[in-house]
Structure 1
Amino acid sequence: MTARSTIDDAEGAPSPTVSGVSERGRPGVAERLAGFVDQAWRPVALLAVLFAAWWAVTAAELVEPYLVPSPGDTLRAITERPEYFLDNTLVTTYETVLGFVIAAAVGVLAAVVMVYSSTIEKTLYPLLLFAQVIPKIAIAPLFVVWLGFGLEPKVVVAVLMAFFPVVISMVTGLKSIDPEMLELSATMGASPAQTFWKIRFPASLPHLFSGLKIAATMAVTGAVVGEFVGANEGLGFVILQANGNLDTPVLFAGLMVMSLLGVALFVLVEVAEHFLLPWHASRRSNASATTF
């Protein structure tokens, strides 16, 4: 075999791969859709079973209708007053999103300060833990007294509910960096700011998004708790008014809409993580804890 033929054979041959490692391209639309269906059918099936059990219990009149309404009555309560539920849902959504954004921004900033200053961490951490264990329903009336019956007390309660998981997850993420990576960056002459933006912050994002998912659902609860104490609009007001009138279909409808709002915010954070962290292990197609 001549040298020229050897070169030609090498040019036409596929590039060598590492033994035991198979190259895998980006999944296509069909593969992503199949993965989504594979992950989604189980919870959907469970919800269908729960709704069927709910319908069977109410259809057999095992429970009085004023205690547990049927799924049909609950959905009818929404369809008969769509504007009423839409307006109040928008109010709670605005309070929730605003509280969530403030909690995320302040939580990330507080975590960075705590990681870079042990004195501040030792000072703030016990106070954060103390504030977290206090029931928010117990201190919500104080915010109404201090801030009135407007938007502010609901947002404050939402911030308090969502703040703790954000700051704790961010602190954990910033502290989970391999010390050898930090030593390498220092050896290469990277400044503290460069080390933070190039190493610490990207590596902490998986932990941060885990906290944001929890905070998204907690913010909904905080906004509704604030509406329980003092409000004339919002899902908390709908639930409280329905409870006072013993209108269980509207009560259950308000709870369902509140749950759907929390799930929607959770999915939005999941989608953001999907696009911002495609490299993380949780984004792989065989991960069981993801929606995609």
Structure 2
Amino acid sequence: MTDVADRRRRLGPPLVLVGLVLAAWELYARASGVSPFVLPAPSDVLGSLWRFRDEAIRHSIPTVVETAVGFSASIAAATAVAVGLDRAVWARRAVEPLLVGSQTIPIVAIAPLVVVWFGFGLLPKVLVVILVTFFPITIALLDGFASTAPEATDLMRSFGASPGQTFWKVRWPSGLPGFFTGLRISATYAVVAAVIGEYVGATDGLGIWMQLSQRSFRTDLVFAAILLTAVLSVALYGVVRAVERAVIPWYRASRGATRQPERLSEAG
């Protein structure tokens, strides 16, 4: 019952707010007389999405594949780099400023170059997803490693543990909460990154569907593509959240124990 109540407490306000915004949008679109070309009502967007569902599914599949492949590759690369930088402090001091500097370059400026270099296939979209999601995962995991309690490291050394044993028994578990924080942040960017890659150059995908709909003056289908992008992003975020609960249940339990006194004081 506690989990159900917590879930309702978390999801209730956002759902109510979304419902109010959609209701206000629907009323304004119907009552103001604004052209559907400029601002279609939410009901019109859903209706168009249903009528063009086959086309929506056809364009969603490439975006899902690009996101899944790119996000998975980004996780693997970011984990390997973060572990390597954590083991070599001098390397982290040299590489971390470059990682930060790379984030100052707009992805919309890089995406066309990636398409020029690698064509219109799967690879350029995957690379765009990696470029967008790699940094948050790497930095979050490095920060997680840095949060390791020095006492735990000293205790492992006192027992004669090797550096590798200390890393996998102490530093890696300490880094997992930060790692999943980075995954959640990156999950919200991954689908959008794939859409940007498609928008620049593709034959299928939500990005190209959005572009074609815009050129055909089908604003309702543009909103439909935006809606599907948002749904896929939320779904990926939910998958990451579910994996986090399965992999580090102890962290969630510790956070719940920490917040319990606050809830009791609020109730009082």
* TM-score, normalised with respect to structure 2: 0.92
Q: Does 1:213 align with 2:192?
A: no
Partner of residue 108, structure 2: 137
| 1:50-89 equivalences in 2 (<5 Å) | 50-61=21-32, 63-89=34-60
Partner of residue 151, structure 2: 180
Equivalenced residues, count: 259
The percentage of aligned residue pairs carrying the same residue is 37
Q: Does 1:101 align with 2:104?
A: no
Q: Secondary structure at the match of 1:133?
A: coil
- Tell me the amino acid that sits aligned with residue 239 of structure 2: L
Using the alignment, how far apart are the partners of 2:111 and 2:6 within structure 1? 43
Using the alignment, how far apart are the partners of 2:190 and 2:215 within structure 1? 25
Using the alignment, how far apart are the partners of 1:222 and 1:38 within structure 2? 31
Using the alignment, how far apart are the partners of 2:112 and 2:194 within structure 1? 13
Using the alignment, how far apart are the partners of 1:273 and 1:283 within structure 2? 13
Using the alignment, how far apart are the partners of 2:46 and 2:31 within structure 1? 19
Q: Does 1:243 align with 2:217?
A: no
Which of 77, 80, 83 lines up with 1:112 in the alignment?
83
* Bigger mean CA offset, 64-73 vs 253-262: 64-73
Aligned partners of 1:277 and 1:283 also within 8 Å: no
Larger radius of gyration between Structure 1 and Structure 2:
1
| 1:118-267 equivalences in 2 (<5 Å) | 118-267=89-238
Using the alignment, how far apart are the partners of 1:177 and 1:157 within structure 2? 32
Using the alignment, how far apart are the partners of 2:190 and 2:5 within structure 1? 32
User: Unpaired runs of 5+ in structure 1?
Assistant: 1-29
Using the alignment, how far apart are the partners of 2:10 and 2:101 within structure 1? 38
Aligned partners of 1:274 and 1:283 also within 8 Å: no
* Bigger mean CA offset, 160-169 vs 109-118: 109-118
Q: Secondary structure at the match of 2:125?
A: helix
Using the alignment, how far apart are the partners of 2:142 and 2:251 within structure 1? 19
Using the alignment, how far apart are the partners of 2:205 and 2:225 within structure 1? 10
Using the alignment, how far apart are the partners of 2:34 and 2:175 within structure 1? 49
Aligned partners of 1:95 and 1:151 also within 8 Å: yes
- Tell me the amino acid that sits aligned with residue 27 of structure 2: A
Q: Does 1:279 align with 2:250?
A: yes
Q: Following TM superposition, by how much is the alpha carbon of 1:284 offset from its aligned partner in structure 2, in angstroms?
A: 2.2
Q: Following TM superposition, by how much is the alpha carbon of 1:62 offset from its aligned partner in structure 2, in angstroms?
A: 5.2
Aligned partners of 1:89 and 1:235 also within 8 Å: yes
- Tell me the amino acid that sits aligned with residue 97 of structure 1: A
Q: Following TM superposition, by how much is the alpha carbon of 1:283 offset from its aligned partner in structure 2, in angstroms?
A: 5.4
User: Unpaired runs of 5+ in structure 2?
Assistant: 263-268
Using the alignment, how far apart are the partners of 2:33 and 2:93 within structure 1? 56
Q: CA RMSD of the aligned region, Å?
A: 1.6
Q: Which has the higher helix share?
A: 2
Q: Secondary structure at the match of 1:63?
A: coil
